[in-house]
Amino acid sequence: MTDTGRVDALLAELTLDEKLRLVRGRSDPSGHATGYLPGVDRLGVPPLGLVDGPLGVRDREATAFPATLALGAAWDPGLARRAGRALAVETRTRGHDVVLAPGLNVVRVPTCGRNFEYLSEDPRLTATVGAAVVEGIEGAGVAATAKHFVANNQERRRDKIDAVVGERALREIYLPGFRAAVDAGASAVMTAYNRVNGPYMSEHRELIEGVLRDEWGFDGVVVSDWWGTHDAGAAAEGGLDLEMPGASPLDRLAPHSRALRAMLRLRLSDRLGVDPPLSWHLFDRLVADDGQPDPYPYDFFGDRLQRAVVDGIVQESTLDRKVRHVLGLYERLGLLGGGRPDSPAVDWETHHELAREIARRGTVLLETGGLLPLEGNESLAAVGPNADEAKVGGGGSSEVTPTRTVSPVAGLRERAPRVTFERGVRRVASPSMYDPPGSGLRRRLAPKPDFDAAVDAAAAADVAVVVVQDGATEGEDRDSMALPGDQDSLVDAVADANRRTVVVCRTSGPVEMPWIDDVAAVVQTWYPGQADGAALADVLYGADPGGRLPVTFGRRFADYPVGDDERRYPGVHEHVHYDEGVFVGYRGFDRDGVAPLFPFGHGRSYAEFGYENLTVERGGERDDGTALDASVIVENRADRPGREVVQAYVEPPPAPGTVIRPERELAGFATVELDGGERRRVSLSLPRGPLTRYDERDGWTVDPGEYVVTAGRSSRDRRARESVTVD
């Protein structure tokens, strides 16, 4: 029986109640899944498990992979595909069918609390690497969920804010990552909490039905973010297929409490007609972070949708379309023919080594200062408030319980003859959804570390390694770009005591570096995951990481295109205005002539690369959408192997009228590893995208004129240029 045949046959058998059971989540009786559908046992439709998240499986122990931003910093689709596959295998091993990953929102605000869960400020890097993650996940028989569709670029008021975004910025910046994920075969798309130009995304008919389905041909499942639905009829007509979690937040606690179960059975709020329960409204207003959704009511696709269908407000055919998408997902996963795909055994050590490889490859050498790589005979002083812990991830739904961890101190002690360790300043809080009550107080009551001992240790060692970090979390944005606590003072004091100081930044995105001119080297490792210290030691002792910045590091928040106007961030009166348009990240720095601290695409190497003989030809309108074929000879002029990310940017001709285009846009890239002295011609197929701009009247438009293609090491370190005329 064909896929659709089996789905249609099932649909014809389902009662209205059974159809409603397939469009609204429930709590997983086992307590393991993040989202759960009980299925329809009568017709052999099994339960379906959905589980977070982008950094690893949030269910019991699992491999804590590095932050998604580290994967973006590796600029390597092959590595991203492997990461996706490993995530999928662990999802299946834990008995789930859908993984709520990858996060594909663009980094628009440098302090957004979830930047560590996203890939880049650039749509092409996001699309290329994000599509590879999806291919890895789907290729392993698990459903990928592209999230959060769309313009969820801040955590401040994320559940209420209206993102006022122009069509051109949506098309050129915020939608491409999702388009690429759909084209790569993502089975699900999760709608964001926020509004876009008015409607909530969970009921955004124009973007769900108009763009996602009609324009892009997406026939998978559109699932809400958790408690991100607001109106049964609007969501039903707007194209939402599946409401999650569909259950009260108390349900998740109920398995552990008879009293709670009894109270829930009473459904006092319904009986008293107080919905949402007043208590929750108070909690949401007075206690919950401003970026947490209000979970009441939580069952729009329950009684409310049932009444809407029975009363003819929502056609049953509309419900049938949703059920068809959900059953289609079951079919894609091979879950309708009875039985379930087997759960592969995971080689946890192999996955740990993959986490180490991703952390290594995502590491960016911001400055090496003649100090790195280390020889191996130096005594080290490891300094930093959390240097004895791996920075596994950030706070929120992406949290993972690692199978094991390697801290920076442990990793360095594997390689150096002598490593002393001093915190220097108070530990930096790593916010967690699972923080036991009072943990914050315990942290504050902990004895104050000895600052002077850290400085003395640095002075007594050959090299000082200062590990600093921030503490980002879902649900709120960082309150500034500065490192939390007294870490900047610690770096200053250590650098004064020992000029051979390397700073290791374990941060969720760009941070201010007031000490940048006083230290020898700076290494950006993002949130490196469970293999943190092992990857750090690999890089400090000579493995050329190949990481390049997927986001611009500005000197201060005000330098960013969103930085100097509260309309643009965090918004005013629940509206955030994307007035910068397409000038996000380096596009904005270029337009405004602002010098970044480190530009988009930046990353030093232990080797040294030369570029020559760039050629560019019209690629013709091939079916892979390639518009230009470029190639350039890259030479490793050092006597040691190195990894280079060859980056091609396109500088378009002036557009007609008042339209302003970015000075240059990333058009393609290739990651190559070259031995010392090796020369190689590197080919780059540049898709049509960067030649085009989105015109609100004429759609995608290629302006005639001269297009300059540059190849080089970053958006501001361009080594070769060639022009091609488009008529």
| Residues belonging to the active site | 225
The nearest distance, CB 37 to ligand GLC, in angstroms, is: 14
Q: Cα dihedral sign for 595, 601, 604, 609?
A: negative
For residue 377, report the phi and psi dihedrals to the nearest 5 degrees. Answer: -105, 0
Smallest gap from Cβ 523 to ligand GLC, in A, equals: 29
Smallest distance, ligand GLC to C-beta of residue 433, A: 9
Task: Give min distance, CB of 52 to ligand GLC, in A.
Answer: 5
State the CB neighbour count (10 A cutoff) for residue 313. Answer: 14
Query: DSSP code of 449?
Result: P
Biggest CA pair distance of the chain:
79
Residue 137 CB, nearest approach to ligand GLC (Å): 14
- Return all residues near 283 (Cβ < 8 A) that are at least 6 apart: none
Indicate the SS3 state at residue 697.
coil
Where does 150-276 show beta strands of DSSP type E? 162-164, 188-191, 195-196, 221-223
Q: Measured from the CB atom, is 51 or 309 closer to ligand GLC?
A: 51
Beta strand ranges found along 460-580 (DSSP E): 463-469, 501-506, 521-524, 575-577
Token duo for residue 15: 């009662």
Instruction: Please state the closest distance from residue 225 (CB atom) to ligand GLC, in A.
Output: 5
226 binds ligand GLC (CB under 6 A): yes
Number of amino acids touching ligand GLC (CB under 6 A): 9
Collect contacts of 271-277 with beta carbons under 8 A, ≥24 apart. Answer: none
Contact 189, 216 (CB under 8 A): no
Comparing CB distances to ligand GLC, the nearer of 226 and 598 is: 226
Instruction: In whole angstroms, give the CA distance from residue 328 to residue 334.
Output: 10
- CA pair distance 392, 399, nearest whole angstrom: 8
The answer to whether residue 397 forms part of the interface with ligand GLC (CB under 6 A) is yes
Distance, first Cα to last Cα, the chain: 51
CA dihedral 338, 341, 342, 348 (to 10 degrees): -150
Chain position carrying tokens 């997406």? 218
Strand residue runs (E) in 291-432: 364-367, 379-383, 418-422
Q: Which is nearer to ligand GLC, 397 or 507 (CB)?
A: 397
Interface with ligand GLC, residue 34, by CB under 6 A: yes
Handedness of CA 113, 118, 120, 124 (dihedral sign): negative
SS3 162: strand
Residues constituting the chain? 727
Select the residue interacting with ligand GLC from 7, 14, 73, 100 (CB under 6 A).
Answer: 100
d(CA 618, CA 435): 56
Q: Please report which residue ranges of 433-486 form alpha helices under DSSP H.
A: 439-445, 451-460
Please tell me whether residue 26 binds ligand GLC under the rule CB under 6 A.
no
| 252-271 positions binding ligand GLC, by CB under 6 A | none
Residue with tokens 């080689």: 347
618 SS3 class: strand
Residue nearest to ligand GLC (CB): 397
Contacts of 135 (CB under 8 A, 6+ apart): 81, 84, 184, 185
Give the Cα separation of 562 and 594 in Å (integer): 13
Torsion sign over Cα 665, 166, 184, 77: positive
Please name every residue paired with 380 in a beta bridge, in sequence order, or none if there are none: 419, 463
- Residue closer to ligand GLC (CB basis): 52 or 378: 52
Member of 18, 225, 331, 580 binding ligand GLC (CB under 6 A): 225
- Give the torsion through C-alpha atoms of 593, 597, 599, 604, to 10 deg: 150
Q: Which is nearer to ligand GLC, 331 or 399 (CB)?
A: 399
Q: For the segment 144-183, give every residue that binds ligand GLC (CB under 6 A).
A: 147-148
User: What is the identity of the amino acid at 671?
Assistant: T
Residues 325-364, one symbol each (x = binds ligand GLC by CB under 6 A, - = not), give ----------------------------------------
Q: How far is the CB of 117 from ligand GLC (least distance, A)?
A: 7
Angle between helices 487-497 and 451-460 (to 10 degrees): 30
* Shorter beta-carbon distance to ligand GLC: residue 66 or 113: 113
Q: Whole-angstrom Cα distance, residue 445 to residue 432?
A: 19
Contacts of 174 (CB under 8 A, 6+ apart): 105, 106, 123, 150, 151, 153, 165
Which one of residues 47, 53, 690, 712 is an interface residue with ligand GLC (CB under 6 A)?
53
Nearer to ligand GLC, 84 or 384 (CB): 84
Q: Does 96 bind ligand GLC (CB under 6 A)?
A: no
631 belongs to the binding site for ligand GLC (CB under 6 A): no
Residue number with CB closer to ligand GLC (389 or 474)? 474
Beta bridge partners of 695: 699
Of 18, 28, 52, 155, the one binding ligand GLC (CB under 6 A) is 52
Whose structure tokens read 């999650």? 244
Which residue, 190 or 632, is less far from ligand GLC as judged by CB? 190
Q: Is 483 exposed, middle or buried (0-12, 13-18, 19+ CB in 10 A)?
A: buried
Taking the least distance from each CB to ligand GLC, the nearer of 147 and 602 is: 147
Q: Is 585 exposed, middle or buried (0-12, 13-18, 19+ CB in 10 A)?
A: buried
List interacting residues with ligand GLC (CB under 6 A): 34, 52-53, 100, 147-148, 225-226, 397
